[in-house]
Structure 1
Amino acid sequence: MSIPHYRRYDLNLLVVLSAIFEEGNITRASQKLNLTQPAVSHALARLRDVFQDQLFVRQGAAMVPTPLARQIITPVRTALQSLGSLTEERTFDPAADRRVFRLALRDVFESSVLPPLMEQLEKTGSLIAIHSVRTDRTEIEAELRRGSIDLAMDIPFPVGDEINQLRVVRDPLTVVARRGHPHIAAGNLSLDSFLAQGHVMVSSRRKGPGIEDFELNRLGLRREVKLRCQHYFAACRVVSQTDLLLTMPGRYAQVANLAFDNLLLPLPLKIPDLDAVMYWHANMDEDPASLWLRGRLTDIFSDQPTSTASQAI
C-alpha cells in the first residue's frame, strides 16, 4: 500500500508514526516529541483513519506495528529526512561553493566593483565565478524576480515592494577637461567658462537631457553638447584630445582617466550627488550566498575613498 496523498493529512502525523514505531510505546513517543500522551494518541487515531489500518496493536505496554506499518515506515522515514534537509540552516562557504553570481552592472559600477571583488576572490582561492551582464533598467525588476540575475546596481528608480534596495554610495559629479585647456586657468572652472565650452554627453539613450541639464534648464541656462556617445572611456579620450568638457560621476572619473592626463574639476553647479543603489529580490534577503555577496559589495564601497575633484590624476 502506498502512502496517501499528502493533501489528505497533516505531514506532522508522519513524525508521530515514526516516533511510535521507534519507541514502541505511546508514553515514550510523547516524551520524545515533547507532546502530551493524549496528543500522541489523538494523532495515532488520525493516522489510523488516513491509512484505514490499526498501524500499531497494543501487546501489554508495547505498541507492535502491523504489517502495513512495517511496510510504510521506510518511505515515511525517507520522506521525513528529505523534508528535514529542506529546513536545515543553509550555509554558504565562498572558498568551497562553485557558485556563479550574475550581476547587472553598468560600466560605471564595473570599474568600482569588479577589480577589488575579483582580487579578494583570487586571494582566498574561491571557486566563485562572477558574470557581469548588461540589463536594461526597465528589465531589472523582472530579471531579479526570475532569478536570471542575483543583484543589480544602478541609480535610484521605482521598483515594487518585492525588490529590496540599499544605497551604497553617494558620488558627486565631476568635470573632466584636458590639461592645458586654454579656457581653464590654474585648474579653476567657473559656471560661465563651463557654459562657454562644447560638451561631451555620455548616455545609453538616443536623446534627452543629462542630469546637469535639468538644473541648467531650471536656471534658464543651456550648454552645447557637441558629442553624444555611449561610454565614458571613449569620452575621456575625446576630452584628452579636444577642448570639450565631460561631466561624469567622480569615482568613475578617477578610474577612467588613469590612462589620460586629464584634469578633474568640481562641477560649478549645485546638483545633488548621484546615489548608487544595490537591488535584490526580497526572497533572497536571508539567503546566505546573497548576504555574503551584498556584504562584500558594501565593504568595497565603504573602503573606497570619497571622490573629490582634483587638478590631476
Structure 2
Amino acid sequence: MHLSKVDLNLFIVLEAIYAEGSITRASLKMNLTQPAISHALNRLRQLFDDPLFERQGHVMTPTPLTRSIIDQVRRALRGFEVTLSGAAHFDPASSERSFSLAVRDVLEASVLPGLMAGISAAAPSATLNTLQVSRRELESELAAGTLDAAIDVLLPLPNEVRRAQLAGDQTVVLVRRGHPLVKRRALTLDTYLEMEHIQTSSRRRGPGLEDVELSRQGLQRKIRLRCQHYFAACRVVSQTDLALTMPDRLARIVNQQFNNQILALPLAMPSLDVYLYWHANVDNDPANTWLRAQITAAMQAAG
C-alpha cells in the first residue's frame, strides 16, 4: 500500500496505546474520546491484518507484530517531531516542553539541584522527568524520543548514540569517626582488607568495581552487608564498624548528616567517568541542544 493512502495519525494512536497500555489512558494522553481511539485501532487492525493488542484484564497487551514494529514506528514519529521542531526556534522563556532524562540514582543527587536551578531560571514553564532505564533499552528509548538524553558511565552503544564526557570521579571509603581500625586519616590496603564491608548495588548479585580490581591482585574483601542505596549504607556506617566504598562526589552529598570519615581508597582504581548520551536524530534539535547545555553546566558546577 502506498504511503499516501495511510493516515499517519494512526501510528500516533498505536504508540500511545503501547505506551499507556490502555485505550482509556491513551485517549486522555491524546485528548481524544475513547470511541475515536477504538476506531483508529480498528483501522490499524485492518491495515496490518493483526489484532495488534489483546485485552488482558484492564491492560491492552501488544501482540508479537506490534512488539516487532514499535521501535520503527517510534523512530519515524520522532523524526517527524525533530523535523518540525528543527524548523522552529526554541524559546526557553516561553516553552512548556517536558524533558525526559535517564539518570542512575547514584548521579541524580549530584546533577539535579544545579540542573533544576538552571531550567527554572531560563525556562520557568518547562518540566523535567528523571527515569531509571535499563541500559539494554537506552538506545531504543533515545531513538524513539521517549528519552531526550541520558547520563551514565561509559557504555558500549552504537555510533547513532552520541556521547560527551561530563565529569570524572574518584572512589573513596567511608568509616565512622572513632573506628577502631583507623588511627589516622590514611587507610592502608591491609587495614581495608581487615575491615568488613557494605556493598551497595541494585543488582541481586555480582562484584563491585573495587572487587574486580582486588581479584586481579589475588585479593578479596569481606562483604557483611549488601544493600540498595547509599543513603542507607551511610547510616549503617555511622552506627557500625562496617566500611563503605563509593563515588566521592556522591559521598560528600549523602554523608553530610552522618559526618563519617571520608578516606582515600588504598587501591588504584580508574576514574569513574560520567557521560551524557543523546541520539543522532536530535543533534541539531534546538530544544535538545539547549537541554544538553544545561546538563553540562550543572555537572561542571557540581564538580
> What is the TM-score normalised by the length of structure 2?
0.70
Q: 1:60-99 residue pairs with structure 2 within 5 A? A: 89-99=87-97
* Shift in Å, 1:108: 1.6
Runs of at least 5 residues in structure 1 that lack an aligned partner in the other structure? 7-84, 306-313
| Partner SS, residue 259 of structure 1 | coil
Partner of residue 250 from structure 1, selected from 248, 251, 268: 248
Runs of at least 5 residues in structure 2 that lack an aligned partner in the other structure? 5-82
Counterpart position of 1:170: 168
User: In structure 2, how many angstroms separate the alpha carbons of the residues matched to 1:103 and 1:124?
Assistant: 18
Q: 1:85-234 residue pairs with structure 2 within 5 A? A: 89-124=87-122, 126-234=124-232
Counterpart position of 2:50: none
- Decide whether aligned partners of structure 1 residues 277 and 243 sit closer, same or farther in structure 2, where only a CA change above 3 A counts: same
Alpha carbons 2:231, 2:254 under 8 Å: kept: yes
User: In structure 2, how many angstroms separate the alpha carbons of the residues matched to 1:286 and 1:120?
Assistant: 21
Larger Rg: 1
Counterpart position of 1:241: 239
* Shift in Å, 1:86: 5.1
User: In structure 2, how many angstroms separate the alpha carbons of the residues matched to 1:87 and 1:148?
Assistant: 15
| Partner SS, residue 273 of structure 2 | strand
User: In structure 1, how many angstroms separate the alpha carbons of the residues matched to 2:209 and 2:290?
Assistant: 33
* Shift in Å, 1:203: 1.1
Q: Does 1:301 align with 2:299?
A: yes
> Which residue identity does 1:266 align to in structure 2?
A
Q: Does 1:271 align with 2:269?
A: yes
The count of aligned residue pairs is 224
Q: Deviations over 1:159-190 (max 9, x none)?
A: 11211111111101111111111111122211
Counterpart position of 1:262: 260
> Which residue identity does 1:280 align to in structure 2?
W
| Partner SS, residue 145 of structure 1 | helix
User: In structure 2, how many angstroms separate the alpha carbons of the residues matched to 1:86 and 1:268?
Assistant: 53
User: In structure 2, how many angstroms separate the alpha carbons of the residues matched to 1:117 and 1:133?
Assistant: 15
Q: 1:13-52 residue pairs with structure 2 within 5 A? A: none
User: In structure 2, how many angstroms separate the alpha carbons of the residues matched to 1:218 and 1:109?
Assistant: 27
> Which residue identity does 1:248 align to in structure 2?
M
Counterpart position of 1:292: 290
* Shift in Å, 1:146: 1.5
Q: Taking every aligned residue pair, what percent have the same amino acid on both sides?
A: 47
Alpha carbons 2:173, 2:244 under 8 Å: kept: yes
> What is the TM-score normalised by the length of structure 1?
0.68
Higher relative contact order (CA 8 A, sep 6+): 2
User: In structure 2, how many angstroms separate the alpha carbons of the residues matched to 1:166 and 1:143?
Assistant: 18
Alpha carbons 2:120, 2:126 under 8 Å: kept: no
Partner of residue 281 from structure 2, selected from 280, 283, 304: 283
Q: Deviations over 1:61-90 (max 9, x none)?
A: xxxxxxxxxxxxxxxxxxxxxxxx959743
User: RMSD value over aligned CA atoms?
Assistant: 2.0
> Which residue identity does 1:238 align to in structure 2?
V
